[in-house]
Every structure is written in structure tokens, then in C-alpha cells.
């Protein structure tokens, strides 16, 4: 794991909880926060690198959408098969990308990874073999998700892939409630207090909008992907592979 301050952003009762944003204070604790909040995160990032390596095509791009501090880019770059590809990270938080640049340069001096500040729904994409979108589509307004996924599909050749990881909702309400409880148990076991868990939940309300596994699979098919399935799930966090 990258070095990181401990996340205690939600440890106090919040007078004005506001909406969750990816600002400087989040950036400082981000690696600790995501590791202790997303069950299976380390596995997903490592396997993302492996999947990117298997699908790397020389002369094309591997693009990480919502790259945050570049964990997936580093995982991809650690495989020699990706050396013939251009690695690109896109994020709309300038604070996040500043820290990402310094993290990447420390870990991989002389790297040629390109970082772009911008909204992933507004970019033009082409000549890509692997799109990585780990825990980012959930922050895009639902009515803009299909257009984005279609754009990604159109920039891929048959056999190329999209790796998509998301917090999901379970179709059956009782099972959904159980999964949420299991996730909260995980966070408690990671040292978060009940107050922190409740505050974070409130801050993410209407900001992080999860969908069901089937909802994601239907959209991927509708966007023109030929095959898709879940390759990893831990509680209510799932990772999909969609093959163009």
C-alpha cells in the first residue's frame, strides 16, 4: 500500500455534513480510506494489472478513468506486457492528480504515464485496448452512464476490454440490507467507529449511486460489448469484465 495518513475525516459529528468531494483533505488520506472501505480493494487492483497485461496491444492505450492516485496504473505498469502501450490516467480532481503525479514519479522514476485533468464523460477516446474504471462510474449521474459506456466501447477493437468495479445494490431488499450490514462490519473491523460509518454514509447519499449486477450487465450489452461477467465480488463490491 502507498504511504498515507490515517482517514479520520468523518470521526466528528458534522454540523454540516455537506456532500462528499475529492478535495485536498480526502487526497491526503485516500490510500488508507479506500483500503479500509472497499473490501477486496488490494486484490482488485492487483488483478486489474494482470488483466491489463493480458489484453495489452502494442501501439494502443491503457486508460484509467477516475485514476485517483494511480493504483491501477502502477499495477498495469508493473507488467512488462504493457510496455508497448501508452498509459493514461484521467481524473477531474486536480488535487488528486497532483498527488498522483508525485506518487507515480516516486514509484517509477522516468515513467511516461500521462495524466489528464478532466471529466471522463467529456473526453474523446480512441485507439484503446484496455479501459479501467474502478469505483468511478458510481459517481457519474445515472442518466449519463450509458453514453459514457458506449463511447468506451466504440474506442475498443473486438477482444479488447473494459474492467469495471463498482459498489453495487442487491436486487432483493433483504439481501441488500444484509450485504450493507456485512460491509459495515468490515469497516468496523478496519477500525472505523459507528459514527464515522454513519457520517460517511450520509455524505455519500445521492453522490455515490449504486446499481445492481444485472443493471450493469444490461448496460454493457446495450453499449455493444459482446460478453461480460463478474470476475470478483466481495459483499456489495463487484468487478466486471466486458469484452468488446
The reply on whether position 162 binds ligand GEK by CB under 6 A is: no
The least distance separating ligand GEK from the CB of residue 104, rounded to whole angstroms, comes to: 12
Nearer to ligand GEK, 4 or 136 (CB): 136
Query: Residues 139, 170, 197, 213: which binds ligand GEK (CB under 6 A)?
Result: 139
Which residue is at the shortest CB distance from ligand GEK?
A: 66
| Residue 4 is a binding residue for ligand GEK (CB under 6 A) | no
Site residues (CB under 6 A) for ligand GEK, limited to 54-73: 66-68, 71-72
**The three grid cell numbers given for residue 60, joined into one nine-digit string:** 494502443
Q: Which is nearer to ligand GEK, 106 or 227 (CB)?
A: 106
Question: For residues 36, 65, 68 and 139, what is the CA-based torsion angle, rounded to 10 degrees?
Answer: -60
Residue 52 binding ligand GEK, by CB under 6 A:
no
Which lies closer to ligand GEK via its Cβ, residue 60 or residue 165?
165
Query: Strands across the sheet with 128-134, in order?
Result: 114-117, 86-91, 61-65, 128-134, 161-167, 237-243, 227-234
| CA nearest to 219, candidates 173, 167, 171, 162 | 162
Return the residue of 4, 60, 128, 134 that touches ligand GEK, per CB under 6 A: 134
| Cα distance between residue 95 and residue 99, in whole Å | 7
Q: Which of residues 79-108 bind ligand GEK (CB under 6 A)?
A: 90-93, 96
Cα angle: 19, vertex 94, 90; to 5 degrees? 100
Rounded CA separation 243/220 (Å): 9
Q: Assess 239 for contact with ligand GEK (CB under 6 A).
A: no
Number of shown-chain residues binding ligand GEK (CB under 6 A): 20
| Dist. CA 30–CA 36, nearest whole Å | 10
User: Which residues fall within 8 angstroms of residue 219, CB to CB, at 6 or more apart?
Assistant: 145, 146, 149
The alpha carbons of the chain give a radius of gyration, in whole angstroms, of 17
Question: Given candidates 14, 17, 22, 218, which one binds ligand GEK under the rule CB under 6 A?
Answer: 22
Q: For residue 32, give Cα distances in angstroms to 24, 42, 62, 66.
A: 14, 11, 25, 17
Considering the complex, state which of residue 34 and residue 161 has its C-beta at the smaller distance from ligand GEK: 34
Query: Does residue 110 come out as left (phi exceeding 0), alpha (psi in the -120 to 50 range) or beta?
Result: left
Q: Which is nearer to ligand GEK, 4 or 159 (CB)?
A: 4
- For the beta carbon of residue 189, count every other beta carbon within 10 angstroms: 10
Rule CB under 6 A: say whether 168 interacts with ligand GEK.
Answer: no
Judged by CB under 6 A, does residue 128 bind ligand GEK? no
Binding mask 107-126 for ligand GEK (x = CB under 6 A): ------------xxx-----
> Which chain residues interact with ligand GEK by CB under 6 A?
22, 34, 66-68, 71-72, 90-93, 96, 119-121, 134-136, 139-140
Amino acid at each position: 500500500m502507498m504511504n498515507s495518513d490515517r482517514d479520520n475525516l468523518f470521526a466528528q459529528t458534522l454540523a454540516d455534513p455537506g456532500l462528499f468531494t475529492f478535495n485536498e483533505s480526502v487526497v491526503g488520506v485516500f490510500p488508507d480510506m479506500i483500503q479500509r472501505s472497499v473490501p477486496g480493494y488490494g486484490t482488485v487492483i492487483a488483478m486489474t494489472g494482470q488483466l491489463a497485461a493480458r489484453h495489452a496491444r502494442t501501439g494502443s492505450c491503457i486508460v484509467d478513468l477516475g485514476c485517483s492516485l494511480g493504483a491501477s496504473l502502477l499495477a498495469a505498469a508493473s507488467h512488462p506486457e504493457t510496455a508497448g502501450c501508452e498509459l493514461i490516467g484521467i481524473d477531474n480532481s486536480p488535487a488528486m492528480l497532483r498527488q498522483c503525479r508525485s506518487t507515480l514519479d516516486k514509484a517509477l522514476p522516468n515513467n511516461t504515464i500521462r495524466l489528464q485533468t478532466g471529466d471522463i464523460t467529456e473526453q474523446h477516446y480512441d485507439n484503446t485496448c484496455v479501459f479501467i474504471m474502478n469505483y468511478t462510474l458510481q459517481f457519474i449521474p445515472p442518466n449519463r452512464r450509458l453514453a459514457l459506456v458506449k463511447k468506451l466501447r466504440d474506442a475498443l477493437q473486438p477482444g479488447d476490454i473494459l474492467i469495471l468495479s463498482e459498489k453495487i445494490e442487491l436486487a432483493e431488499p433483504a439481501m441488500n440490507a444484509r450485504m450493507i450490514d456485512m460491509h459495515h462490519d468490515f469497516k468496523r473491523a478496519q477500525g472505523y467507529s459507528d459514527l464515522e460509518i454513519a457520517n460517511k454514509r450520509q455524505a455519500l447519499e445521492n453522490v455515490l449511486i449504486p446499481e445492481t449486477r444485472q443493471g450493469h450487465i444490461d448496460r454493457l450489452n446495450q453499449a455493444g460489448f459482446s460478453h461480460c461477467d463478474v470476475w470478483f465480488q466481495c459483499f456489495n463490491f463487484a468487478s466486471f469484465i466486458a469484452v468488446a
